[in-house]
Each structure stands twice: as structure tokens, then as C-alpha cells.
Amino acid sequence: MRPRRSSKRISGTVICCLLACLAFWNLPQAWGQTFISGKVITADGKVVASGAVALEKGELHNDAFLAGGAIGSDGTFKIPLPSGGPWGLHVYSEGYIYFPLQVQIKAGVDNEIPVVLPVDGNPGDDPRISNIRFNKISDQVFQIKMRVDDPNSNLGPQMLAIDTQRYRSYRLAPDSGDLKDKKADFPSGEYGSPFIPLPLDGEDLNNWLFVVADHQCSNGPIYSGVNQSVLKPPVAHAEKLKCEVAGIWKSNFDKVYQFTPKQAGKFSGKQFAGDILIDQMAQTENNVTMEFRLKGVKGRAELQLACPENQIRLQGSFQLPERSGEWVFAKLQNAKATQSGQDLFAANCSGCHFTDRKVTKVGPGLQGLFKNPKLPKSGRPTSEENVRDTIVNGRGKMPPFKHLEDLKIKVLIDYLKSL
């Protein structure tokens, strides 16, 4: 938890393994598809309005780039992935330091990841792309070439072309030969993509994005396939930050946290890309206590929620057996408003269940569910536990809803109680 200067050295080790992965997968389906999504905010309190996202399958920095997409003018991205498991997430926006993060993706759901980009204090040393060319190899195959230059000669292996319509990313290698050691400084010069198995004729080159990064996590301008910068200046935060614990926070140790309400005065907490596990969080008036483990060692924090002039902060001290210190969290984003029970029911259950009748639609009508001592189909005792079990695990022809978070199931059960 040692404080780190907000320098450019965020990237971890860069490991070698270039894969030209040409496998295809289906484009987004409505249900059960795996997504990664997020909203890209900046350490200076803005929302980015342009940029690119690239994903490596497996470990971060293995260079197996496979998926990718664009950041929209509202700062959000949403990219379908062919599978769950570990992925390396890279987010780039001009003027900010790029953001590498190892993420664990849950299959079949939308995985939301908060992204906070540090300001690039030294844009003068950013690498530059020029002369992007698409070369037709055959009717079904093309290749991409571009030139890369870097004023301070510390290019990394990330030279990327991103197909934002098919959600794919490709790594370009130096024409002079790819380097085995991906930690070495890559040369300025010409770079080429692997063969891309798509017809070039009719392709809209505006849908392709190009980005390169150096070993200090700097990226320069992001270009489209027609050699134009896609920069749109970041915009001020649209939402007014609420003076409450729920939401996304950044600590003085440069880590990002998400605090989610569990029940009155209790929260669950999650640290992104770090070593801290939060076991318990409780709030009484403005006092917040947190029990956590740092690499298995138990610690405790006593914090105060304070909100002078819309500067939403949680501030106090932490204690570990071996040390203690100041812990300050600045709020970056409000918690997403939870859907109402009625909305959750409409989205997940109404296709199969009536709420105002006892007759069967596909499953039994749920009117008066909690007023009956027995559940309508199984005859098991009506209890929160048994209904939760039905929702999470499914029954007979009813599918399981394992992807619904605890809080949503709770809101849904409260709604069922009102029927």
C-alpha cells in the first residue's frame, strides 16, 4: 500500500508472446453474451470523449491482442468477448497515461470495470504514428502498415490497430523483425500487421483506430484509418457527486475502489488491481469502519465521510499489525442507481410469470407469493431463502439467474413480497 508517485511507470513487466490470433466469434447477442464495459474518467475529474480500448487474452502484457473497441463521446465502451477468464485491459485516450489492468471476466454477463486515467504530464515525449496504409493482398485478405516514431526512443511492443466494428485488435510488428524481448526498446520505423482475413473493398477505414504506447505508458494521438486524429477534448463530469459511501473512489495510494450498499449502513467493497480484500464496511452517521486484509494480513480503518464544496472524501487512518497511516479516498463516480424491483422483474421474470394472477404463464403466477405458506410449484415453505434459491439456481424449466448480484436479488425479493 506504499504511496506511489503518480509517475508514468505504471506498467508492469512486459512479457513476450506474439500471437496472431485469427479466430472469429459471433458479434453481440442479446442474452448470455460476455462483455467488458466501463466509463473512462480522468484523475483531473473529467470524462474522456475519445479513445481506444484493446484487450489481450490471458495475462496482461503477453501481447496476445485479440479484442478491442472505441470509447464513445460519453466516455463509455462496451466490447463483446469470446470467453471469460483472465484478460489484460488497455485503455488509451490522448493527453492521459494509458491504463493497463489485469481483469477477471465472468462469462455470460456484462463486466463493468471503472477506469481512471492519470494526466500525462509530459506529452512532448509521446510516440507518434504516421502514414497508415491498408494494402490489399487478395480479395479476402489485407495488411496494414504504418510508421512509428518516438522522440525519446523507448517504444514498447504495443502498436495496435483496432477494428471497432468487429471488436478486434491486432498488434503490428517492426518490419525490421519483431523483438523477442518485449521489454526492450522497440525501433522507430515501419510496422506491419499480420494478414487480416477480411475483404478490403468496401471497408470504412474510419472504423479503424491506431494507437502506440511507449514503456512509460505514454500514448500519443490516436488516429483513424484515414490518418486523422480522433481527439475530442474530455468534458467536465456531468453528474454531481453524492455525499455518500456508495460509488467509485480513488485512494491516496492511487488505487480504485468500488463500495456497494448491502443493507442499511453496511457496504461491500472491492479494490481493482490491488492486494486488498475488504471484509466488512459499516457506516454510523459520518463514521465509516472498514475491516480488510492486505495480502492476508488483517487490518482496520476508521474513516470519516466529509463533503466540503462538492469535494467528496473519506478520510482517516488505517492500522495493520506492523504499521499504520493516513488513508484518503476521493470520490470519482456515484454508484449506479439500482433498478427497482419492478424493473428487475420486467427485465428477467415477466416473460414467464404473471404478478397479478395465480394462473400459469410458463411458470406459476406469483400474485400473493409471500402470503402463502408454501411455494406454488414445489410446495416448499415460502421463505426468502427458498425463493432466493429458486432465482439463483433455477428450477425445472426456469433458468438460473446466477449473474444477478446479491443486491439485485434482494430488491427483487422485496418486490415479490409486495405482490
Enumerate binding residues for ligand HEC (CB under 6 A). Answer: 348-349, 351-353, 362-364, 366, 369, 375-378, 380, 387, 390-391, 395-399, 401, 412
Q: Which is nearer to ligand HEC, 222 or 375 (CB)?
A: 375
State the nearest-atom distance from the C-beta of 359 to ligand HEC, in Å. 13
Within 8 A by CB and 6+ apart from 396, the residues are 377
Alpha carbon distances (Å) from 347 to 37, 62, 354? 20, 39, 13
Q: Which is nearer to ligand HEC, 333 or 348 (CB)?
A: 348
Q: Which is nearer to ligand HEC, 252 or 386 (CB)?
A: 386
Residue 96 C-alpha cell reads as 492521459
Q: Which is nearer to ligand HEC, 25 or 354 (CB)?
A: 354
Within 8 A by CB and 6+ apart from 71, the residues are 40, 48, 49, 50, 51, 52, 53, 77, 91, 93
The Cα 408–Cα 215 span in angstroms is 42
Q: Which is nearer to ligand HEC, 32 or 121 (CB)?
A: 32
The Cα 303–Cα 265 span in angstroms is 14
Q: Which has the closest alpha carbon to 216: 3, 2, 1, 6?
A: 6
The Cα 210–Cα 222 span in angstroms is 6
State the nearest-atom distance from the C-beta of 405 to ligand HEC, in Å. 12
State the nearest-atom distance from the C-beta of 415 to ligand HEC, in Å. 9
Q: Which has the closest alpha carbon to 189: 135, 143, 145?
A: 145
Q: Which is nearer to ligand HEC, 107 or 352 (CB)?
A: 352
State the nearest-atom distance from the C-beta of 27 to ligand HEC, in Å. 24
State the nearest-atom distance from the C-beta of 81 to ligand HEC, in Å. 24
Q: Which has the closest alpha carbon to 336: 208, 210, 231, 242?
A: 242
Gyration radius (Cα) of the chain, Å: 24
Q: Which is nearer to ligand HEC, 52 or 413 (CB)?
A: 413
Q: Tell whether the torsion through CA atoms of 265, 271, 272 and 277 is positive or negative.
A: negative
Residue 299 C-alpha cell reads as 487490518
The Cα 172–Cα 20 span in angstroms is 10
The one-letter amino acid code at 250 reads: K
Q: Which is nearer to ligand HEC, 276 or 412 (CB)?
A: 412
State the nearest-atom distance from the C-beta of 159 to ligand HEC, in Å. 46
State the nearest-atom distance from the C-beta of 109 to ligand HEC, in Å. 14
Q: Are 151 and 177 in contact (CB under 8 A)?
A: no
State the nearest-atom distance from the C-beta of 286 to ligand HEC, in Å. 36
The Cα 71–Cα 48 span in angstroms is 8
Q: Which is nearer to ligand HEC, 286 or 378 (CB)?
A: 378
State the nearest-atom distance from the C-beta of 37 to ligand HEC, in Å. 22
Q: Which is nearer to ligand HEC, 333 or 390 (CB)?
A: 390
Largest CA distance in the chain: 75
**Residue 190: is it exposed, middle or buried by C-beta count within 10 angstroms (0-12/13-18/19+)?**
middle
Residue of this chain nearest to ligand HEC (CB atom): 363
Q: Which is nearer to ligand HEC, 107 or 398 (CB)?
A: 398
State the nearest-atom distance from the C-beta of 97 to ligand HEC, in Å. 42
State the nearest-atom distance from the C-beta of 408 to ligand HEC, in Å. 9
Within 8 A by CB and 6+ apart from 144, the residues are 132, 133, 134, 135, 161, 170, 172, 192, 193, 196, 208
